[in-house]
Amino acid sequence: MVVRRVLEWEVVRILERCSSLNQAKEVHAQIYIKNLQQSSYVLTKLLRLVTALPHVPLHSYPRLLFSQLHTPNPFAWTALIRAYALRGPLSQALSFYSSMRKRRVSPISFTFSALFSACAAVRHSALGAQLHAQTLLLGGFSSDLYVNNAVIDMYVKCGSLRCARMVFDEMPERDVISWTGLIVAYTRIGDMRAARDLFDGLPVKDMVTWTAMVTGYAQNAMPMDALEVFRRLRDEGVEIDEVTLVGVISACAQLGASKYANWIRDIAESSGFGVGDNVLVGSALIDMYSKCGNVEEAYDVFKGMRERNVFSYSSMIVGFAIHGRARAAIKLFYDMLETGVKPNHVTFVGVLTACSHAGLVDQGQQLFASMEKCYGVAPTAELYACMTDLLSRAGYLEKALQLVETMPMESDGAVWGALLGASHVHGNPDVAEIASKRLFELEPDNIGNYLLLSNTYASAGRWDDVSKVRKLLREKNLKKNPGWSWVEAKNGMIHKFVAGDVSHPKINEIKKELNDLLERLKGIGYQPNLSSLPYGINDREKRLLLMAHSEKLALAFGLLSTDVGSTIKIMKNLRICEDCHIVMCGASKVTGRKIVVRDNTRFHHFLNGACSCSNFW
């Protein structure tokens, strides 16, 4: 027996060094010579080797190997079940599992983990539930940590989070994998409260769990919470990797504050993930600086990268585009092509947006036509929205409408919204009517679409149609989403303002500053634009509402709290209204300050009474 064991170990040691079918067959011959052909231990190792070779069909050599075993043990059965579970078809894996049970061979943990992984891969929750029942009926697996973690993963990937949580709650023993799997699942569906409850209850947290929370908060637009968790991570001395950094960089990008941007960049540099060292972190930093209103700093990061890929190029192209730097975006696109980097979907979103802002219709059409043929990028609804915006912004409304109506996929709100906005700017109520009809179906509660259609009718003097939209608004009793803005003070602190806000400790000073500013603007011809407000209230009430818009309050505070001559940066959750846009233009002229406003569409750079968007956003 001792000699046999030594022989088995020696053969297995040789098998571990094999990397081809011919080598495996040579060892198989030695197995016969050494009379080990009925050793389940050795044959299982050989099975695992040949089933892992990509070009070896499972039904040929591996099945023949298995059939030569007179009494295969659970590990040999599992080797073949696992191979079919990974490579398919799943039905064969189940067939072997059934044969195994008929021969009264007891499955092991690895048997079930392989089957659960296969169910998760094909999102077959019903089959997964049946196998879960098998683990309970057989006994001994309800306390198996490895199997329970596989069951949780299966239910999570099949979208049965409630079942996953039930398994978790009933587990007699859990490890960090059990907790982290559920935490990630909750973050993906946006239930950050449940994720946080689990996270706080986890006795020992590793880097993966901390990263899951940071990334979860960032992906669910809760940047301050992401930063708070990241700070705790740092205080506890937890090691970070590039995934952790990308998550917190995304949170900083959402806040749009230079203070946090520079802080996180310093951490990245000190952790060995500087812009010249890591292309993933460098690309995220480009995106962050662009969204913080500092496209020059973003470009400095880009230039400092030793390695650049499609993500870094795309981030920079999109950054230039949303800041109105269309020529720079397009030039960088062609520079990228010269380096041999292949563009992707995001690259084309950026370059088409740039063409749109620069009015380069012919160039945009050529790029759109070449996407799939030359670069393998299939048109998407988002890319059609870019083309619709390009054509309609340039005044080709009928051509844009024809493009939308011939799209190969279902058109979404972004496509029709671009057409409605351009119809208003170009005074085309007929196209606006078509676009708004689709928008009312897709976004029935979006009050902005109704107001834009009504204003387009009013501009064309179609007062009966204006009355119809007003009536529809009254019947639906729609309310505008609450607008909020935040501005960075001199000390780097972020101050948030909600429309109609009176809670700020300096609200009286802010109101006085705003009143003084508006008086100065009236001196150069400013008149409040009341058309962007709901109907049913008088003009005095409309003026008061306009005065309370969050970006105006943020502007007034910025004038109070930052140095004369410095740039005021304002971030807003909604599209900036026409009146606020007029005020920002005027304020940049009478104060001599540069004002940068990021709304939910793009950046507006106001300087000397003009905006980078040329009053079309």
Q: What digits encode the pLDDT tens for the residues 587-608?
A: 999 999 999 999 887 899 999 9
Question: Is residue 535 very low, low, confident or very high in pLDDT (cuts 50, 70, 90)?
Answer: low
Is the peptide bond between 482 and the residue preceding it cis, with omega within 30 degrees of 0?
no
pLDDT of residue 16: 78
Checking DSSP bridges between strand 595-598 and strand 603-607, what pairing results, if any?
Answer: antiparallel
- The neighbour count for residue 603, using CB atoms within 10 Å, is 25
Instruction: For residue 557, give both structure tokens.
Output: 């505070």
Checking DSSP bridges between strand 610-611 and strand 484-488, what pairing results, if any?
Answer: unpaired
Under 8 Å between Cβ of 514 and 547: yes
pLDDT of residue 50: 81
Question: Which amino acid, residue 613?
Answer: C
The DSSP secondary-structure symbol of 395 reads T
Whether the per-residue pLDDT at 373 is higher than 80: the answer is yes
The domain segmentation of the chain, as residue ranges, is 487-611
Whether the per-residue pLDDT at 584 is higher than 90: the answer is yes
Largest CA distance in the chain: 104
CA angle 226, 231, 237 (to 5 degrees): 130
Distance CA(79)–CA(85), nearest Å, equals 10
pLDDT of residue 617: 61
Average pLDDT on 415-440 reads: 91
Q: Give the three-state DSSP class for 309.
A: coil
Under 8 Å between Cβ of 219 and 250: yes
Please name every residue paired with 470 in a beta bridge, in sequence order, or none if there are none.
none
Burial status of residue 507 (CB atoms within 10 A of its CB: 0-12, 13-18, 19 or more): middle
- Considering only CA atoms, which of 229, 295, 238 is closest in space to residue 261? 295
- The neighbour count for residue 139, using CB atoms within 10 Å, is 8
Distance CA(321)–CA(324), nearest Å, equals 5
Whether the per-residue pLDDT at 478 is higher than 80: the answer is no
Give start and end residues of each alpha helix (H) in 203-325: 207-219, 223-235, 242-255, 258-270, 279-291, 295-303, 310-322
Average pLDDT on 407-428 reads: 89
Distances (CA, A) of 262 to 85, 101, 294: 48, 61, 11
Question: Is residue 547 very low, low, confident or very high in pLDDT (cuts 50, 70, 90)?
Answer: confident
Distance CA(428)–CA(435), nearest Å, equals 11
Helix (H) or strand (E) holding 305: none
The DSSP secondary-structure symbol of 506 reads T
Distance CA(494)–CA(613), nearest Å, equals 26
Higher pLDDT, residue 506 or 28 = 506
Q: Give the three-state DSSP class for 605.
A: strand
Convert 450-461 into a string of H (helix), E (strand) and C (coil).
Answer: HHHHHHHHHHCC
Question: Is residue 281 very low, low, confident or very high in pLDDT (cuts 50, 70, 90)?
Answer: very high
The residues, ordered by sequence, that sit 6+ positions from 386 with a Cβ below 8 Å of its Cβ are 348, 349, 352, 353, 356
pLDDT > 90: what percent of the chain? 52
**Rounded to 5, what percent of the chain is helix, strand, coil?**
65, 5, 30
pLDDT of residue 543: 80
Span 501-533, pLDDT tens digits: 788 889 999 999 999 999 999 999 998 877 666
pLDDT of residue 142: 81
pLDDT > 70: what percent of the chain? 98
pLDDT of residue 451: 83
Q: How many residues are present in the chain? A: 617
Question: Which amino acid, residue 430?
Answer: D
Span 233-269, pLDDT tens digits: 999 999 999 999 999 999 999 988 777 888 999 999 9
Whether the per-residue pLDDT at 290 is higher than 90: the answer is yes
The DSSP secondary-structure symbol of 538 reads -
Averaged pLDDT score across all residues of the chain: 89
Whether the per-residue pLDDT at 473 is higher than 90: the answer is no
Instruction: For residue 465, give both structure tokens.
Output: 């149609």
Checking DSSP bridges between strand 494-498 and strand 484-488, what pairing results, if any?
Answer: antiparallel
Whether the per-residue pLDDT at 554 is higher than 90: the answer is yes
Burial status of residue 307 (CB atoms within 10 A of its CB: 0-12, 13-18, 19 or more): exposed
Alpha carbons within 13 angstroms on the beta-carbon side of residue 617 total 26
Checking DSSP bridges between strand 568-572 and strand 595-598, what pairing results, if any?
Answer: parallel
Higher pLDDT, residue 329 or 599 = 329
Average pLDDT on 390-411 reads: 91
Phi, psi (5° rounding) for residue 163? -65, -40
Higher pLDDT, residue 218 or 503 = 218
Helix (H) or strand (E) holding 533: none
Whether the per-residue pLDDT at 536 is higher than 70: the answer is no
pLDDT of residue 480: 67
Distance CA(188)–CA(184), nearest Å, equals 6
The residues, ordered by sequence, that sit 6+ positions from 214 with a Cβ below 8 Å of its Cβ are 226, 229, 230, 233, 244, 247, 248, 251
The DSSP secondary-structure symbol of 611 reads E
Average pLDDT on 466-487 reads: 83
pLDDT of residue 299: 96
Please name every residue paired with 606 in a beta bridge, in sequence order, or none if there are none.
595, 611
pLDDT of residue 396: 93
Distance CA(601)–CA(286), nearest Å, equals 18
Higher pLDDT, residue 352 or 88 = 352
pLDDT of residue 534: 55
Under 8 Å between Cβ of 128 and 147: no
Q: Which residue has the tokens 């062609």?
A: 334
Average pLDDT on 484-500 reads: 86
